[in-house]
Structure 1
């Protein structure tokens, strides 16, 4: 069977967010991605929004921090960060965290079937520095606090039900979450220089009120096998969760996390790496490492949030670097997909595809002014391969 056909079957069968496992299927320890020609060609000149895109793609601004979302009365939040899309009838909703402290929380923008904005609303308030998070198979948004002993909040993207604090998922400097409907667990990253990688095993799948928090154990540096061990005290006081289990694998600044096709990808900003867990074989390896690119010509630096497409491409946003979103293809090629110009004091956050896969949403957290109150949320439309 052709690899891409196999991938698409795995993604559809998992009912997970798209991005399958072709980067893993080819070999137990495939070589990390290397620069090459991207699937959409070279970037063109910056458009009127300051965004450089391949031919055939266009951008528009959806919202700006401190301003009302066009066509609504809702004021968009400061410092937009992690995000995800949710189907909403014939349209969809894009949710976005707010990485400010205090204040935090998250908001949503509603779109109709043609992509027109029809509303915006608050889904979480009164929290602290909500950075990334993750979508659940039961259509809730896990909004994560990136503070010491922070919480995960389960929110309703549709704005109907009140958000619920989920202390069972542990209290630590949370970054991102990714749900695995096959093993019925949620993976969690930790934004510490000596952070860990966790998974939460709910007592009942679909209910995050109780369960077991576990940490990944491994002895290898860049590859090897792994196991899971229970964290004795998920409250993280007086001993931090990352310091409770001997042999827990350390990761330098955990950031984005994405699951599909029996594989988990997550990023570490301290060493500019993208990691890959093969859940079938119980092994881990590097999907990308900028220090392994010959000649110092790494196109992807400042790795941060991640998302995936139904084709099998991984999209990695930069915190710094060239202010790019880079794509890592199933054939292990890494190349820029877009670049934001004139915003070197910002970072790209919250990449997420619409349900049809033909629109990509993301934010520049601090915009042209380099301030949390100057965030800009964008949409890119074009011939994404699906």
Structure 2
């Protein structure tokens, strides 16, 4: 089956493989990997396969702070730092995606690491927090974090002056009750969120499509999320690309149904989002499977079938395009490393981040979990002209999450490992360039 599939994708693969190879060096100044990592090569002390000239180190793991002991993983998920204010860039904040708090008495947690001293502690924890995921520093000096469950909440943490102690936590219900992950803000203080829901297949109460949308919250007062209006993205075009518009206001306490009733676009499990310049990028983790059988019983591949993609939304024109899509400008993944016929490719994209030069960084919710960079230089259809493989996780069964570049440390990519196969192996890693000899 793999041989047939490889023949089916060979022609479309040629369309972009030459481009990536000819670029050679991309915006983070690395030579792309030639293939994903093989779990047979796993070394717990260095779980990431990285390009030549790069190194990796543990920032903080369960040996520093073991929130959930007894063999339970800490599920490090997303990262941010204090991007503004005194000592900006010194403190790293992380969500921990503990699920089912009814059986986990501690509940979900947000932790903080002092990157200068290494001190690590719990910032907030509550027995009712469930599946904490997205996290974002605000321009006014607070932290937003949210729950990745149906009717999930979004919270705002106000900090004490030491930046390692929470003063209070406020539930921002006006932003919407949905399965939150991605959180970002534009320069005007508008907040963008997604609903991580299989909107095209699960729907709402039997209605398909429904939910799984992209939403914009416009506060009544910039910097105050207590009141405002919530809107859903509507797209007039095939498969969620084309001309968009914000429709609403919709009901923040019934986001899926009210957003869909207003005409909001349903995607298949949107997860993260990232604003770079005037563009909002959204990771759509799933799509139709990458093969089908035609009327003559032949196995075929088309660009209409894919396993996850990234869309780009121009925040001025609201034109929506496919920015990275397997079979179009990224390779299609076939099988697993070590298997006959394996081809490394782009599959189940999850978290997004902005690279120091403005490239979009993407990590997969997949095994192996790959990290990709995509240039903002696009073709006439809005697709990135260069999509290259930067790193890949060897830890068997683990997932890489929370990719993040601190504005104060552009040479370091922070990334988490969750549900590691190693005992107390969940943690935050830093990938950076090795120092050149003679310097």
The CA deviation at 1:383 is: 7.2
The answer on 1:327 being equivalent to 2:373 is yes
Aligned length: 339
Partner of 1:26: none
Partner of 1:81: 77
1:172 to 172, 178, 185: 178
> Structure 1 residues 118 and 78, CA, compared in 2 at 3 Å: closer, same or farther?
closer
The CA deviation at 1:376 is: 2.4
Structure index of larger Rg: 2
> Structure 1 residues 133 and 118, CA, compared in 2 at 3 Å: closer, same or farther?
closer
Q: Is the 8 A contact 1:46 1:53 kept in 2?
A: no
More divergent stretch after superposition (78-87 vs 133-142): 133-142
The CA deviation at 1:233 is: 1.9
> Structure 1 residues 295 and 56, CA, compared in 2 at 3 Å: closer, same or farther?
closer
> Structure 1 residues 104 and 119, CA, compared in 2 at 3 Å: closer, same or farther?
closer
The CA deviation at 1:365 is: 1.2
Partner of 1:249: 265
1:43-83 Cα offsets, whole Å, 9 max, x none, are 49877412111122211112234x334xxx98898111122
Between the aligned partners of 2:373 and 2:352, the Cα distance in structure 1 is 10
Between the aligned partners of 2:400 and 2:237, the Cα distance in structure 1 is 31
> Structure 1 residues 227 and 381, CA, compared in 2 at 3 Å: closer, same or farther?
same
Partner of 1:313: 359
The CA deviation at 1:329 is: 1.9
Between the aligned partners of 1:156 and 1:108, the Cα distance in structure 2 is 14
Between the aligned partners of 2:231 and 2:176, the Cα distance in structure 1 is 10
> Structure 1 residues 263 and 293, CA, compared in 2 at 3 Å: closer, same or farther?
closer
> Structure 1 residues 120 and 295, CA, compared in 2 at 3 Å: closer, same or farther?
closer
- TM-score under structure 1 length normalisation: 0.80
Q: Is the 8 A contact 2:231 2:259 kept in 1?
A: no
1:106 to 110, 114, 132: 110
The CA deviation at 1:273 is: 0.8
The CA deviation at 1:167 is: 0.3
Q: Is the 8 A contact 2:60 2:120 kept in 1?
A: no
Q: Gapped runs of 5+ residues in structure 2? A: 1-14, 35-40, 102-106, 200-211, 288-307, 334-343, 378-383
Match of 1:168, SS?
Answer: helix
Between the aligned partners of 1:294 and 1:62, the Cα distance in structure 2 is 31
The answer on 1:260 being equivalent to 2:276 is yes
> Structure 1 residues 366 and 221, CA, compared in 2 at 3 Å: closer, same or farther?
same
Partner of 2:6: none
Between the aligned partners of 1:96 and 1:294, the Cα distance in structure 2 is 30
> Structure 1 residues 139 and 124, CA, compared in 2 at 3 Å: closer, same or farther?
farther
Between the aligned partners of 1:90 and 1:136, the Cα distance in structure 2 is 12
2:317 to 278, 281, 289: 281
The CA deviation at 1:230 is: 1.8
Partner of 2:433: 382
Q: Is the 8 A contact 2:276 2:358 kept in 1?
A: no
Partner of 2:223: 206
- TM-score under structure 2 length normalisation: 0.71
Q: Is the 8 A contact 1:172 1:241 kept in 2?
A: no
